[in-house]
């Protein structure tokens, strides 16, 4: 059933708001409510957020737990930083695949407020100031104009949660349509994997070659797609290949039957992950 994604600086009130939502839905619906987050996964924050690989592994584990929990009966609340827009886009792709609505609850605080709340925590639960400052610096604010950040509920520290509006957004809205809205003849496994590998490789080579005559700010046209890559900087091949592997791994688990959409999906994935 619905996914509610919490978002905000460290120590911005996300866990308190998640608990308020859990209590509301348990009292007003017959749905089972699952809170998935750093606390439920026993994440050691200062250890994890000091190491980029450990942080990526933690995000992947949280996403996998959300995917396991989301079904027609449950409400899932993801209580974590969710500060990277590319990650929020991945969550959006997940709910598109499972055909369930979602919304984003953004706990908006200043860096100073979050730092003060952090120092008031028990020592064992505090972020180090260096880790907190780094997470604030890297935070990518949600934008309701992005479909993966919408519907967006921005909550200040003294606000009362708009429970009814949040409930309506996940119970009265239709789920976003899947990417494979136009069904074609099912692909054989071998053919799908061959086309996935070939198309994604062709996209990378088109980007790599276009960069030779482009400058930051240009929009790169990719043959076979209706999407364009925004060249905000120079992308090296190692970085592009890493994202290609990630996209292939995800797409193998959620294959599309419309082969013509693979290149568009990959370019969209690159745009969200690179910027």
Q: What is the pLDDT of residue 11?
A: 96
DSSP H or E run through 35? strand 32-37
Q: With b meaning 16 or more CB within 10 Å and e meaning fewer, what string describes 217-253?
A: eeebebeebebebebeeebeeeebeebbebbeebbee
The C-alpha R_g of the chain, in whole angstroms, comes to 20
Cβ proximity of 51 and 144 under 8 Å: no
DSSP H or E run through 7? strand 3-8
Q: How far apart are CA 197 and CA 249, in angstroms?
A: 11
Cβ proximity of 142 and 104 under 8 Å: yes
- Domains of the chain, first to last: 3-171 (3.40.50.300), 189-274 (no CATH)
Percent of the chain topping pLDDT 70: 93
Q: What is the pLDDT of residue 13?
A: 96
Determine if the peptide bond prior to 151 is cis (ω within 30°).
Answer: yes
Q: How far apart are CA 240 and CA 271, in angstroms?
A: 11
Where do we find the tokens 């900087």?
Answer: 233
Question: Which two structure tokens, joined as six digits, stand for 231?
Answer: 């060249």
Residues of the chain with pLDDT under 70: 1, 178-191, 256-257, 275
Model confidence over 163-221: pLDDT tens digits? 999 999 999 888 887 654 333 434 445 567 778 888 888 888 888 888 878 777 778 88
Strands 219-221 and 228-230 turn out to be: antiparallel
Q: What is the pLDDT of residue 96?
A: 86
Model confidence over 250-261: pLDDT tens digits? 887 777 667 778
Question: Helix, strand, or coil here: 104?
Answer: strand
């Amino acid at each position: 059933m619905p996914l509610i994604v919490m978002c905000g600086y460290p120590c911005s009130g996300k866990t308190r708001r998640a608990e308020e939502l859990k209590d509301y839905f348990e009292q007003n619906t017959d749905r089972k409510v699952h809170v998935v987050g750093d606390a439920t996964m026993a994440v050691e924050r200062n250890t994890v957020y000091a190491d980029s690989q450990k942080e990526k592994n933690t995000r992947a584990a949280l996403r996998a737990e959300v995917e396991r929990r989301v079904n027609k009966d449950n409400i899932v609340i993801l209580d974590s930083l969710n500060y990277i827009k590319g990650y929020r886009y991945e969550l959006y792709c997940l709910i598109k695949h499972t055909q369930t609505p979602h919304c984003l609850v953004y706990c908006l605080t200043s860096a100073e407020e979050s730092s003060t709340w952090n120092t008031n925590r028990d020592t064992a639960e505090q972020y180090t100031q260096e880790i907190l400052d780094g997470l604030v610096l890297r935070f990518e604010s949600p934008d309701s104009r992005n479909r993966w950040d919408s519907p967006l509920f921005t909550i200040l520290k003294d606000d009362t949660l708009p429970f009814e509006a949040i409930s309506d957004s996940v119970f009265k809205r239709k789920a976003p349509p899947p990417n494979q809205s136009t069904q074609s003849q099912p692909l054989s496994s071998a053919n799908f994997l061959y086309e996935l590998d070939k198309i994604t490789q062709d996209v990378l080579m088109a980007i790599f070659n276009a960069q030779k005559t482009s400058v930051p700010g240009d929009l790169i046209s990719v043959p076979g797609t209706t999407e364009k890559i925004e060249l905000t900087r120079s992308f090296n091949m190692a970085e592009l290949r890493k994202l290609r592997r990630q996209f292939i791994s995800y797409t193998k688990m959620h294959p599309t039957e419309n082969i013509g959409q693979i290149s568009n999906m990959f370019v969209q994935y690159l745009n969200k992950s690179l910027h």
